[in-house]
Amino acid sequence: MKTRGAGAYPFLGWLLLCGLLLVTTSGGCGKKGPPVAPKHPPLPQVTTLDGRLEGDSVFLSWQPGEPAKGIKGYMILRSQTDPANPPCDGCPRVFQRVGQVALESGSEQLRFSEPTLPGFIYTYKVQPLGLSGETGPESNAVTIDRGM
């Protein structure tokens, strides 16, 4: 029985090489890059946040941003600082979510209130909350000083 050398089936080598090239170059489809979430129109920023202290409670009020379409409510954010132990210069202020206000149809002004403790400085912001749970930009900050 006679065996053939490596050159006896040259087309087999080319076939394997073409198959390997086909597999390694055709693995992708569509546009290359990381996946991108669908874009929603940006939620409007509240620029009219106002706050006052009456007794031991803080009262916040603001007008919904224009247009208020796509917003289901607003998150209330608060930072509480002890004047005896202020944060370092240039350190970011930490805000926590302390409430939420639902947007009702035709609302011209929204309100939120909460009791506060003496001896602290409170800073508040509001942030729009979209129908899908996305958040918009934070509002202007309002500071209530009860540190006296």
* Mean pLDDT along residues 92-106: 91
Cis amide bond preceding 118, omega within 30: no
Predicted model pTM: 0.71
Domains of the chain, residue spans: 50-145
pLDDT in tens, 23-52: 666 655 566 777 776 667 788 899 899 999
**Average pLDDT of the segment spanning 93-113:** 91
Q: Given this model, what pLDDT does residue 14 score?
A: 74
The two three-digit tokens of residue 116, written as one number: 């506060």
The pLDDT-based confidence of 95 (bands split at 50, 70, 90) is very high
CATH superfamily of 50-145: Immunoglobulins (2.60.40.10)
68 vs 71: CA distance, rounded Å: 6
71-81: strand order across its sheet: 96-102, 71-81, 121-130, 142-145
Please state the rounded mean pLDDT for residues 14-22: 73
pLDDT at 106 over 60: yes
How confident is the model at residue 107, as a pLDDT? 81
